Amino acid sequence: MAKYYICIEIGGTNLRYGLVDTNFSIIKFSKIATDKFSSAKDKIEFLSDLIEPLIVEYGKKNILYVSMGLASLMNKERTVVYSSPMIKGFENIEIVKLLQSKIGIPVVIEKDVNLLLLYEIRKMQLTSDGIIAGIFLGTGLGNAICINGRIYKGNSGSACELGHIPVPGLNQECGCGKKGCFELIACGKILRELAEKHYKCDVKDIFKYYGNEKKVLDQVYYSAVAIATEITILDPSHVILGGGVIEAEGFPMEFLLQSIRENLRSPNPREAVIFIQASGDAEAGVIGAAIHASQISNY
């Protein structure tokens, strides 16, 4: 009898979910706006209702895990969501315990960007030796690091929050609760504000029509500085660049790469690091969730 993973990826913009088999092939796939989840009063009830049809159709005994990727800060044990800057009321929740007791299936959670990186590494057949970094410019400035094939979580489980490193002189408050975070000057949320308030256009068209404007290029440059900082510290073999901002029509990829390199020491790591653009596959986070669940079952 075939076995499956029910996988959910909750990003800042979209919630994607579906059924993945043990060969990491998509069997079912759907997408809804994250706002629907954000506005739900009972988040556990919402998730249960979302996946119940899959449980009924494929049988509870055939579901190995419900595996979730979240744009959230969580504990090292990956059982509690501490905060979710992009989602209202999704904080200090023992999500694994609560959802598991409701559906009767093992539940695992991980940061969404970590699952995206696992997917890209597998798809690109990159070696598991050494350090591979992933930067995903979306609603926020997502970051993941894989060391010798395993996601790096850090001492407390809060590693790789590149978007929340402090910027000197910046005193605005971030959605994470502290002031001066990098995401206040470089992320898709800021680009959306620029598009709507300054250029009066849809954010998806901002690079297409205003890609040479200083305000827009500054966003790209600030992201490059953050990326160069990580490369300087880690000296990774590969850096995978993805996310909705990079996938937007007209995005100045060459300017981004040039800006990263000019902020790196020569000859290395400037000449040693290899940049790869992420696939942009819509199902990446969902399949990445299945890969993560399979790793847990094998360790």
pLDDT, tens digit only, all 299 positions of the chain = 799 999 999 987 889 999 999 999 999 999 999 999 999 999 999 999 999 999 999 999 999 999 999 988 899 999 999 988 778 889 999 999 999 999 999 999 999 999 999 999 999 999 878 999 999 998 888 999 999 989 999 999 889 989 999 999 999 998 788 899 988 988 888 999 999 999 999 999 999 999 999 999 999 999 999 999 999 999 999 999 999 999 999 999 999 999 999 999 999 999 999 999 999 999 999 999 999 999 986 65
For the CA atoms of 35, 37, 41, 43, what is the dihedral angle to 10 degrees?
A: -160
Six-digit token string for 75: 């504990």
Cα–Cα distances (Å) from 295 to 69, 113, 115, 150, 260, in that order, read 14, 16, 11, 9, 33
- The structural domains of the chain, with segments of one domain joined by +, span 4-114+282-298, 126-277
The CATH architecture annotation of domain 4-114+282-298 reads 2-Layer Sandwich (3.30)
Kindly report each contact of residues 86-92 with a partner whose C-beta sits within 8 Å and lies 24 or more positions away, as own/partner: 86/11, 86/12, 86/34, 86/38, 86/139, 86/140, 86/175, 87/10, 87/12, 87/34, 87/37, 87/38, 88/38, 88/39, 89/38, 89/41, 89/43, 90/37, 90/38, 90/43
- CATH architecture of the domain formed by 126-277: 2-Layer Sandwich (3.30)
Other CB atoms within 10 A of residue 187 CB: 25
Which token pair is 83?
A: 């905060």
Whether the bond into 106 is cis, omega within 30 of 0: no
Q: Confirm whether 4-114+282-298 and 126-277 share one CATH topology.
A: yes
Residues 20 and 286 sit within 8 Å (Cβ to Cβ)? yes
d(CA 108, CA 118): 15
